[in-house]
Structure 1
Amino acid sequence: MGMEIEKKYLLPQQSLDKLDSGELALVSEQRIEQTYIAIDEQQELRVRRITDMGTGEVTYTHTFKRGNGLVREEVEYDISEGIYEQVMNAFGYTPLTKNRLTAQWNGRTVEMDMYDQIQLAVLEVEFDSVEEAEAFVAPEWFGEDISSQKQYSNKTVWKQLQGEKWSGN
């Protein structure tokens, strides 16, 4: 099982201007639709449809994550469109949708997610070790560090989007 070590920041809208100024170099843009099929306090299972906006290529993934905060276990693998559609049709949930911009900043890859259904933009940075993550000093324009604030997690936002449909309430 792989480990995901990442910090997450509440990205102010004006920070996206860094793309225009050249401080951020855009690498790719993806359209992501994600739905959770099982969630508890420590674990989650989700499926995603990911469309590469540059090439039009569509991929589908299934992901298991365990843990909260800075370090989580993660297993992700590709699934077929048919499996993705079966899951979506079986549960009838509304997918959380967002555009993800992947960019280079200061020799580091950053991912910026802009959500459709809520007023939210976040920036994520992944690290190779906990020590590297803890030593990282983010520039002010990244915004507030929300890595440990559960109200900004994708699964929390997704659950709120489901309303009465979510049986885990």
Structure 2
Amino acid sequence: MGMEIERKFLLEHYPESLIETGELAVKSEQRIEQTYLAMDDNEELRIRRIEDLATGDVSYTHTFKRGNGLVREEVEYAISESIYSQVAAAFGFTPLTKNRVTADWYGRTIEIDIYDQVQLTVLEVEFASLEEANAFAAPSWFGEDISSQKRYSNKTVWKQLQGEKWLGK
């Protein structure tokens, strides 16, 4: 399994002025729909439909994650549109939808997720090691560090979106 080491921040305002000044260079924008198939406190299994908004290319993934907080195990691989559609239809859940803006900020890649169904914008930064993640000094415009706050995790937001349907009622 690969390791995902990331910190998340609650972005209060989209950094339009930083884009205009060139401090933040947008590299891509994607439209993401994701649905969770199974989860517990420590593991999750999800599928995603990802559309590149510049090219229109669409890809589909299946992902398994284990762990919480800054460091998690992650296995992700491509699946076909047919498999994605069959699995999504079989479960019948409402996908969590968001736009993801990937940008370069002084040589570091950041991802900004702008959610549709909830008023939430999150900035993520991935790191090569836990030491690097802990040593990272985020600028104030990143907002509050929410890396360890489960209420902002994708799976928590998705679960709330499902309501009683997720509970099997």
TM-score w.r.t. length of structure 1: 0.97
For 1:110 and 1:135, how far apart are their aligned partners in 2? Answer: 16
Residue identity opposite 1:92 in structure 2: G
The aligned length equals 169
Q: CA deviation at 1:113?
A: 0.3
For 1:147 and 1:34, how far apart are their aligned partners in 2? Answer: 20
Give the aligned partner of residue 28 of structure 2.
Answer: 28
Give the aligned partner of residue 163 of structure 1.
Answer: 163
For 1:4 and 1:47, how far apart are their aligned partners in 2? Answer: 17
Q: CA deviation at 1:74?
A: 0.1
Give the aligned partner of residue 37 of structure 1.
Answer: 37
Q: Does 1:121 align with 2:121?
A: yes
For 1:16 and 1:73, how far apart are their aligned partners in 2? Answer: 33
Give the aligned partner of residue 51 of structure 1.
Answer: 51
- Written as runs of structure 1 = structure 2, the 5 A alignment for 1:81-160 is 81-160=81-160
Give the aligned partner of residue 66 of structure 2.
Answer: 66
Q: CA deviation at 1:22?
A: 1.5
For 2:89 and 2:14, how far apart are their aligned partners in 1? Answer: 38
Which secondary structure does the structure 2 equivalent of 1:166 belong to?
Answer: helix
For 1:111 and 1:35, how far apart are their aligned partners in 2? Answer: 20
Q: CA deviation at 1:165?
A: 1.0
Q: CA deviation at 1:164?
A: 1.4
8 Å CA contact 1:100–1:111 kept in 2: the answer is yes
8 Å CA contact 1:15–1:142 kept in 2: the answer is no
For 1:47 and 1:15, how far apart are their aligned partners in 2? Answer: 29
Give the aligned partner of residue 8 of structure 1.
Answer: 8
Q: CA deviation at 1:28?
A: 0.2
8 Å CA contact 1:11–1:141 kept in 2: the answer is yes
| Percent identical | 72
User: Is there any run of 5+ residues in structure 2 with no aligned partner, and where?
Assistant: none
Which secondary structure does the structure 1 equivalent of 2:163 belong to?
Answer: helix
Q: Find runs of 4+ consecutive structure 1 residues off by over 2 angstroms.
A: 14-17
Give the aligned partner of residue 80 of structure 1.
Answer: 80
TM-score w.r.t. length of structure 2: 0.97
Which secondary structure does the structure 1 equivalent of 2:118 belong to?
Answer: coil
Q: CA deviation at 1:168?
A: 6.8
8 Å CA contact 1:23–1:105 kept in 2: the answer is yes
Q: CA deviation at 1:14?
A: 4.7
